[in-house]
Amino acid sequence: MKKLINYILPVTLCIAFTQCKKSWLDTTSPSNVDDAFVTSTPSETFKTLSWCYANYRQNCVMGTYRWNDPIGSDAEMYPEDGSSNNLNAILRSDLLPINSASGGFNGLYSTLARAVKVAGLIKAKAAYQTDVADGKPTDWTHLYGEAMTIKALCYFDLIKHFGDVPYGYENTTVTDYSLSSRFDIYDSLIADLKNVESLMYKIGEGGINAERMSRTFCDALIGELALFSGGYQTIRTDVDGLYGSVTFTKKGAEQFGCVYARRTDYLDYYKIADQYLQAAIDNKGAANLITTDGRPNASNPFQRHFQYFADLQTSPESLFQLGNIKGGVQVTTSEYPYAFGRPSDGGSANAAPTKTFGALRIIPSFYYGEFENGDKRRDASVTVTGSNGDGNEKILSFTPGNKSTGGIAINKWDENRMNPPYTAAQRNSGMDWPILRMADVILLSAEVKAELGQSAAAITLVNQIRQRAFGNTNHNISGLTGDALKEAVLQERKLELVGEGTRRWDLIRSGKFPEKAMAVRQDMATLINDLKTQGFHKFPNGNQISTYIYTKMIALANPLTYDVTDSTRPELYPGWRGQFNFSTISSVTVKGTAHNLAIQGLFTNIDATTAATLVSQGYVKTNWGINLISAPATIAAYDRNILSGITSPNDPPRYYWPIPTETISNSKGKVTNGYGLPQS
């Protein structure tokens, strides 16, 4: 498992290929002897390139900016009260210290600088030049494309999270540098990747799996770069001439030296996106959309993708997932299931399971109001229970906080579903970090085709995803065109990809961020008011959230639960919860024998007569929606934590992190922070 990781760790410790100084702009080139050694063979070259994967995992993805991507949308939120950890997520990055994301910023530049250096050395090799002339993928041509794809991904992250940034200064010592237009950077990256993608291996070829860059991923990345270049985004108006001849259609008001806008020639970029997203599907290699589930205890191919992560395997649906190793001699920080997993009150070590902070929570109006009946994604994506840390299931609380408080949570990464769970220490489970999967690409392609007027093709793509979600064709969409189809695609992406860091960018790119932000804030205000005045709130789909539910602990032969459609089975419904049977692990302490939680009234308001009957059966009246309304501070916390930086439909969304002090101060005034972000 994970051959890539076996290279990464020792290389990270010993490589002397490029010694980075304090600033990403100042690097020292290795000697000719070093260059010759590290590119002597494809395997030696990859050992050097693997440093980029390690640095991207530990110092880029783990940077604060990427950590916020899944928690700032109309479906996802942060759980704590008054924390500064989500200032960017709520669109108040103007309140952040200037160096709040310096680790991620500098990490991205150091990673891409190394990748560019490796690419340059490969390009100069006679063996590489011969292989290029032959026009077929080889180890050398793939490594060159892999390095260039790493560079492009890093710059893509920089633009998404910091806006317009310095470009093209890697591996040089400079005393004069400035901002580059993001649109120029996009054009350059797209051109670079177009030149390399055909000479890269697809997933499954040449020993390449989804833990390395492939032609499959490269094609998808070209599509994403073009789509983001053509989509709506917040651009600067305070730097004259920054965008050259590019013209824009603007939405809303200009504020803080910025405006929400889309380039007027956006369709040209959607056409590029259309071509290369389709190429990713056509060049899928061994990757595919998982549509069957051969497990004896489950029939949910959607969830099967996430089970591969819990099994510490690469998923056949992944185009790229960032490798990790569980605790042992070689260990990497498995932050994703800790930060975004199913919550656990367990301790930091030897718990059942260990602590899961749960920084990603699901807005109640989304969970209750937007999934259709029969959608297998709901329970596999969102959970109302977590773990006590002693082998027992626990209802989550809407009271602001973390672990078992903070509200309902994402359910796609649950250490209970490892076999066995890693219980020695938190953050050491070894689950990979997801970056891109085939369902995402299919729905991106649908988004592009809907914008280009290819309605039938877009509908076909959406229905591929819906047929998997429901297990039949009864919920297929049909007959939609124009804005109605665009909205259907946007909604399908929301349901399919919730918690995976895409919804925030979908809303930005679609031009709908302010209106969707205002809408979800109003939905939650209405929900809270109804809980106050009548004790429940009813959604258009018939679901109800009530102030109280009724629960009791019970024993199940198999305490880890799976799919269930029978809502009369309170010990099983909703599905995909329960607990691993931790009594089989001697190093942890398990309490009691009844480990599962039966829940009554989760989607229906319980009347007094029914409540009395349930109490006689051993159920306990349990706080639920009451915790949303019981304290003014809680109401204020939810109001703050759900996109409170948007106060009107005319506000430009300000989602960028500040460029750090060092880059600004050394630029002789040519690099500044826009969007009202701090300058010092």
What digits encode the pLDDT tens for the residues 134-153?
A: 999 999 999 999 999 999 99
For residues 679 and 98, is the Cβ–Cβ distance under 8 A? Answer: yes
Residue 317 counted as domain residue? no
Same domain, 83 and 117: no
How would DSSP label each residue in 122-189?
Answer: HHT-HHHHHHHHHTS--HHHHHHHHHHHHHHHHHHHHHHHHSS---S-TTS--S------HHHHHHHH
The C-alpha R_g of the chain, in whole angstroms, comes to 25
Strand (E) or helix (H) holding 25: none
**pLDDT tens-digit series, residues 521-573:** 999 999 999 999 999 999 999 999 999 999 999 999 999 999 998 999 999 99
What is the average pLDDT score of the chain?
93
Is residue 364, in this structure, part of any structural domain at all? yes
Query: Domain check: are 81 and 117 in the same one?
Result: no
Is pLDDT at 667 greater than 90 in this prediction? Answer: yes
Residues 602 and 524 in one domain: yes
- Write out the two tokens for 181: 């237009």
Range of the domain at 59: 1-63+101-166
Looking at the fold, whether 18 and 107 belong to one and the same domain comes out as yes
Q: What is the pTM of this model?
A: 0.95
Residue 76, strand partner residues: 362
Q: Looking at the predicted structure, is the pLDDT value of residue 229 above 70?
A: yes
592 domain residue, yes or no: yes
Q: Which position has the higher pLDDT, 35 or 9?
A: 35
The residue ranking higher by pLDDT, 176 or 29, is 176
- From residue 649, how far is each of 252, 482, 494, 506, 527 by CA, in Å? 7, 22, 21, 17, 21
* Domain annotation covers residue 493: no
Of 77-86, 204-213, 325-334, 361-370, least confident by mean pLDDT is: 325-334
End residue of a domain, out of 120, 138, 166: 166
Does the residue 210 lie in any domain? no
Question: Among candidates 362, 372, 361, which has minimal Cα distance to 539?
Answer: 372
For 413-457, the pLDDT digits (tens) are 999 999 999 999 999 999 999 999 999 999 999 999 999 999 999
**What is the pLDDT at residue 34?**
67
Same domain, 136 and 77: no
Which of 69, 93, 282 is closest to 677 using CA atoms? Answer: 93
For residue range 331-383, what is the model confidence (pLDDT) as tens digits? 788 899 999 999 999 999 999 999 999 999 999 999 999 999 999 999 999 99
Confidence of residue 66 (pLDDT cuts 50, 70, 90): confident
State whether 82 and 137 are in the same domain.
no
Residue 668 backbone class (left: φ over 0; alpha: ψ -120 to 50; beta: rest): left
Q: What is the pLDDT of residues 287-321, one digit of tens each?
A: 999 999 999 999 999 999 999 999 999 999 999 99
Residue type present at position 678: P
Residue 404 lies in a domain: yes
Query: Are 80 and 155 in a shared domain?
Result: no
Nearest CA-CA partner of 498 in 69, 201, 23: 69
What total number of domains does the chain contain?
Answer: 2
User: What CA–CA distance (Å, rounded) separates 382 from 122?
Assistant: 46
Task: For residue 387, tell me if it sits in a domain.
Answer: yes
Q: Assess if residue 619 is contained within a domain.
A: yes
Q: Are residues 394 and 414 in the same domain?
A: yes
Which tens digits make up the pLDDT trace of 240-289? Answer: 999 999 999 999 999 999 999 999 999 999 999 999 999 999 999 999 99
Domain stop point among 166, 199, 218: 166
Contact between 383 and 406 (Cβ < 8 Å): no
Q: For the segment 10-49, what is each residue's pLDDT rounded down to a tens digit? A: 333 222 223 232 233 333 334 344 677 778 899 999 999 9
With contact defined as beta carbons under 8 Å apart, do 163 and 236 qualify?
yes
List b or e across 352-375, with b for residues whose CB sees 16 or more CB atoms inside 10 angstroms.
bbbbbbbbbbbbbbbbbbbbeeeb
Alpha carbons 315 and 156: distance in angstroms, whole number: 24
Residue 30 is predicted with a pLDDT of: 40
Q: How far, in Å, are 18, 107, 239, 324, 584 from residue 58 at the CA level?
A: 18, 9, 33, 10, 33
Do residues 88 and 124 share a domain? no
The verdict on 347 and 411 lying in the same domain is yes
Residues 395, 418, single domain; the answer is: yes
Considering the domain architecture, whether residues 625 and 666 belong to the same structural domain is answered as yes
State which of 115, 148, 166 marks the end of a domain. Answer: 166
Residue 621: exposure state from Cβ atoms within 10 A (0-12, 13-18, ≥19): middle
